[in-house]
């Protein structure tokens, strides 16, 4: 590689914050949770959201801000600590105790009002810092045939259920 090495550390700043009725971490039943993403009014104006309402779904990057450094896993663990599940690597699961504590999640967009984005099904608790917000485009979905192991399908069975 001829390019200079990028900086080892990357500093981000939240672009906004979530408010929603869930104040504690809960594993399941996120599908119908209503949330509002409040864009930071000190840095943004509503034109940052022009045209967003033409999309049905968003892709949101947020920070698992309640995970302490000491809890971050860098090896393998059983998803949700369940002894009946196989041990899998932290990058082979979506657990929150991961390096960089980044979450990526889809949700339905209900409406945009000024700097407030009303969504449904965002799996983030009240106060969560939002790092990015993108429209979901069909063409950016996975290409070709999907497959995944049984444990992951079982784990998700109630995730978005009412």
Q: Among residue numbers 65 through 84, which ones bind a copy of itself (CB under 8 A)?
A: 65, 74-76
> CA neighbours within 13 Å on the CB side: how many for 29?
5
E strand or H helix at 83, and its extent? none
Shortest Å, Cβ 14 to a copy of itself? 7
Does 153 help bind a copy of itself (rule: CB under 8 A)?
yes
Shortest Å, Cβ 26 to a copy of itself? 15
Q: Out of 44, 71, 82, 114, point to the residue binding a copy of itself (CB under 8 A).
A: 44
User: How many residues of this chain interact with a copy of itself, rule: CB under 8 A?
Assistant: 81
Q: Out of 39, 119, 122, 124, point to the residue binding a copy of itself (CB under 8 A).
A: 39
The 3-state DSSP class for residue 120 equals strand
Shortest Å, Cβ 31 to a copy of itself? 6
Q: Out of 29, 38, 59, 67, point to the residue binding a copy of itself (CB under 8 A).
A: 59
Other Cβ atoms closer than 10 A to 149: 12
Quote the CA–CA distance of 59 and 5 in Å, as a whole number: 29
Using DSSP bridges, classify how beta strands 88-89 and 129-135 pair: parallel, antiparallel or unpaired: unpaired
Burial class (CB in 10 A: 0-12, 13-18, 19+), 42: exposed
Where in 125-144 is the site for a copy of itself (CB under 8 A)? 126-127, 129, 131-144
């Amino acid at each position: 590689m001829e390019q200079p090495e990028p900086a080892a550390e990357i500093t981000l700043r939240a672009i906004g914050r979530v408010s929603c009725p869930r104040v504690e971490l809960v594993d399941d039943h996120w599908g119908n949770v209503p949330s509002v993403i409040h864009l930071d009014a000190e840095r943004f104006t509503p034109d940052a959201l022009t045209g967003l309402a033409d999309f049905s779904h968003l892709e949101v990057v947020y920070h698992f801000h309640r995970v302490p450094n000491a809890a971050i896993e860098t090896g393998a663990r059983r998803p949700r600590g369940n002894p009946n599940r196989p041990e899998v690597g932290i990058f082979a699961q979506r657990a929150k105790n991961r390096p960089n504590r980044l979450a990526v999640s889809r949700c339905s967009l209900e409406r945009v009002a000024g700097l407030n984005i009303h969504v449904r099904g965002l799996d983030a608790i009240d106060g969560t810092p939002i790092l990015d917000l993108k429209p979901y485009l069909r063409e950016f979905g996975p290409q070709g045939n999907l497959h995944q192991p049984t444990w992951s399908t079982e784990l998700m069975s109630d995730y978005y259920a009412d």
